[in-house]
Chain A
């Protein structure tokens, strides 16, 4: 190799952190193979540990729907025919949202080995966590067609909006992870805080109750609650309904605001994450 070729003099500027953070996300998305294989291995390992255990996920969800459905349809004087599918789909979608958000703070922490061993974008472990949760949620979603058949829910074009909802969900989980994942790497009590917030959100979000039941009171819970908006763009299509427009508007605003906060935050601390692990 010749050493007489002049090496192009590097231009040194203060590191453009914002650009590095955006690049991190963009390259991570392009390197889909990495997070795909990690997520897939996660799922395979759960099966390896206990094949039956995954089946129990489904059974336990079915039991929860049956139990809560029976009691609450009585308490809230709702007809079983309309309450059961509403509750069932709501709980199944909520399980996806809540387990994902609960695992996002651990995205960097539990992937420390990969982050400390390989160069490349850090965000792959965020995509890994989201994808893994979507795949695992499939175990609960097999119950949705059962609800469709038993309660005669119409399957129509609106049903396809579920996939739009799923994209909206994934896109929003990324900014949540950028915030709570980064923060948790530094402060190890953040995951508990997140768990508590999610727990509380379960009761404040129209899952057990219907938005109509609190009409004109507490509309903040149904209109402005981010969890409610996220839930609705996933739930309504599975009930054969088109989500109301304002849900999409709200979720759009939440997405923009979320990224507006999360990207600069991640840009500020991105390269510290590996040091904190």
Chain B
């Protein structure tokens, strides 16, 4: 059964100074006893702040939020690429993440080698990977270029290839970031058609966007992220208002930079299930949530 459950999932990106990267310094501090505050205070960016989310078959979720609100991070967690630094993520089903398409391509390898490699990483066998080559060749329209290392490609060409490889099979869970499909106009049309195909076949869609009209067309649920928290969870129409509000507020405030202090319990993320029909999954009870929480680790 395809499904996604996040329980109090937080993501803290640690920011290390050069000296914090040294084992020698770390040991010297332990042994020497004299600990300077500036060396030990660990700075983290809290990109997701105790997110609770339950998705299941049929959910088409639009992800709104201003820049830096944590959309890409949330998609990475949903795709299983990033494990939450505290809390828990349960993902059941075959996920395909169309995030940063150029990532995970080997610049030194040829187009064909990249087709093989990426296909294998997306779960194909060697035979399956090879059998997909004609389709990828045709879709990417890269012709002879596929014989060359992809460092000789333009970034648009790399995106085309990555897109063609990543979308050749349809996943159960499709996670898409906002800029996917942003290639040249002709390819963009084809890419859009392919994406629509995938969306139609996916059990669950999560898709980050700024475009409310797009979301209204494809989605039946929307989440607005604000400083890494779920600020709104409900119908797309109702999200429009919350999102505009969040966007204007975000302009006034800067990013969610915080020192590694345990956040106070007053900061409980507002979980709004305003539309009973639109949102799914059993309501999460208090004690269960508490047990799901894990302490943040260093």
Q: Which residues of A contact B (CB under 8 A)?
A: 1-3, 5-10, 12-15, 33-34, 37-38, 41, 44-45, 48, 113-114, 116-120, 183, 186-190, 193, 271-272, 274-276
Contacts and interface: CB of A to CB of B under 8 A. Distances in A.
Interface string B63-93: 0000000000000000111110100101000
Interface hub of A9, A10, A116, A186 (most chain B Cβ within 10 A): A10
Contact of B83 (A3, A45, A117, A274): A274
Contacts of B217: none
Contacts of A1: 57-58, 203
A275 B56 contact: no
Nearest to B97: A119
29 contacts: A1-B58, A3-B56, A3-B57, A3-B58, A5-B1, A7-B56, A7-B281, A10-B5, A12-B291, A12-B292, A14-B294, A33-B120, A34-B121, A41-B106, A41-B113, A113-B103, A114-B121, A116-B104, A118-B104, A118-B122, A119-B97, A183-B23, A187-B22, A189-B23, A189-B24, A193-B23, A271-B85, A272-B297, A274-B81
Interface in B118-149: 120-122, 125-126
Contacts of B13: 275
A37 B120 contact: yes
Contacts of B109: 41, 45
Contact of A33 (B99, B126, B280, B288): B126
A1 B1 CA distance: 12
Nearest 8 CB-CB pairings of A with B = A1-B58, A117-B104, A119-B80, A187-B23, A271-B83, A117-B103, A1-B57, A12-B292
Contacts of B23: 183, 187, 189-190, 193
B255 to A, nearest CB: 18
Interface of B: 1, 3, 5, 7, 12-14, 21-24, 26, 54, 56-59, 79-83, 85, 88, 90, 95, 97, 99-100, 103-104, 106, 108-109, 113, 116-117, 120-122, 125-126, 203, 280-282, 288, 291-292, 294, 297
A26 B190 CA distance: 40
Given A14-B294, A118-B104, A38 B117 contact: yes
Residue from A2, A12, A272 having most chain B Cβ neighbours under 10 A: A12
A3 B280 contact: yes
B81 A117 contact: yes
Given A12-B291, A44-B113, A114-B104, 15 more contacts: A2-B57, A3-B56, A33-B120, A37-B117, A41-B117, A45-B109, A48-B108, A117-B103, A118-B104, A118-B121, A118-B122, A189-B22, A189-B24, A274-B82, A275-B85
A7 B56 CA distance: 8
Given A33-B120, A274-B81, A275-B13, A7 B1 contact: yes
Given A37-B116, A45-B108, A119-B80, A187 B21 contact: yes
Contacts of B99: 117
Contact of B7 (A6, A12, A45): A12
A272 B84 CA distance: 9
Contacts of B113: 41, 44
A276 B12 CA distance: 11
Contacts of A116: 81, 103-104
A10 B81 contact: no
Contacts of A8: 1
Contacts of A272: 85, 297
Given A7-B54, A114-B121, A275-B85, A188 B22 contact: yes
Contacts of A41: 106, 109, 113, 117
Contacts of B125: 33
Among A118, A183, A190, the most chain B Cβ lie within 10 Å of the Cβ of A118
Contact of A7 (B3, B26, B117): B3
A238 B82 CA distance: 45
Contact of A276 (B14, B54, B81, B294): B14
